[in-house]
Amino acid sequence: MKLARVAIAALGLLLCSGGAYALPVTASFDVHANNDVWNFGNGDGTKVGDPGLATGIDLTAGDYFSVVVDDPADTWLFCGGADASCRVDADGRRANGTFFGTYTDAGFSAHHGTLVGRIGAGGFFAIGTAGFFGTANATGQLHLYHWDHNANNSETIAVTFTAPEPGAVALLGLGLAAISVVRRRRAGRI
């Protein structure tokens, strides 16, 4: 009984200490509209690759994470030149509230210029100006994309990735299990 109390106290201090185990993992990225485009085309219908921004963050299906646009007012261009009609936010929305159109590829549809993500070979998901808050739909590295079909885009949108520290989740589970054992012993169930 005394050992269980010591273990619970130690876990409580560790979780409440604000140490590395309780802090979330965060990373910041600049997603480039041209270099990180999904379908890096030649303009003639041929495809030269799907580079995207390789974040170096590996996720497992079911992991909770978020990706948030640092400034929802930021914009980038989905077509060449400085044509104002091509300037859109991370939702693919122009300043006047309209959209250029929808681009569909690999079973996913979004407005031109939308910020999207993909984990490994899983399905695409929209991030947009509202951000993404949820669980990984596949296992693999997180890639971020400017959703378009060619390489005449420009400018960047800054984003922040956040996920709970895996150690914090594991320690919280251990602490809750230890509390449960002590409570059952006190109630005479064990």
| Amino acid 106: pLDDT | 84
User: Strands, DSSP E only, in the chain?
Assistant: 25-32, 53-59, 64-69, 76-77, 87-88, 102-105, 108-111, 115-119, 125-126, 132-135, 140-146, 156-163
pLDDT in tens, 130-139: 999 999 999 9
| Amino acid 23: pLDDT | 60
3-state secondary structure of 37: strand
Select the more confidently predicted residue: 69 or 185. 69
Q: State the average pLDDT over residues 166-177.
A: 54
Lowest mean pLDDT among 30-34, 147-151, 164-168: 164-168
| Amino acid 51: pLDDT | 73
| Amino acid 82: pLDDT | 72
Select the more confidently predicted residue: 172 or 98. 98
With a cut of 70, say whether residue 16 has pLDDT above it. Answer: no
| Amino acid 85: pLDDT | 82
| Amino acid 15: pLDDT | 45
